[in-house]
Amino acid sequence: MPIAHFHTMYLVFYFLLFPQGIEHPEGKPFKWVLHKAVFDLTFFVLFSTIGLNIVFGIIVDTFAELRDSKVCARAKRITKLVL
């Protein structure tokens, strides 16, 4: 693979997306491909972030409920006299 020298970060980004060259295999113009790539990356980042936040929220909520039930059970044990 020959060493490529890029003058802008724009070309580096494009080369990382499409290492086979400047022309997209479907024959679409470069601007359309760039817009689609940005849309796909934005979609992925937003939905993965929202999805992970939902999962982590459920996990944190479950552990909070477990902690509350433990505190409640301990308070009942301390306040009640068992003979």
Given a cut of 60, is residue 1 above it in pLDDT?
Answer: no
N-terminal to C-terminal alpha carbon distance within the chain: 83
Rounded CA-CA distance 24/58 in Å is: 42
Q: pTM of this prediction? A: 0.47
CB 36 within 8 A of CB 44: no
At 22 the pLDDT is 53
Residue 77, phi then psi, degrees to nearest 5: -60, -40
pLDDT in tens, 39-63: 888 888 888 888 889 999 999 999 9
At 18 the pLDDT is 65
At 64 the pLDDT is 95
According to the per-residue pLDDT averaged within each range, which of 17-26, 51-60, 74-83 is highest? 51-60
Q: How far is CA 43 from the centre of its chain?
A: 10
Residue 23 DSSP one-character state? S
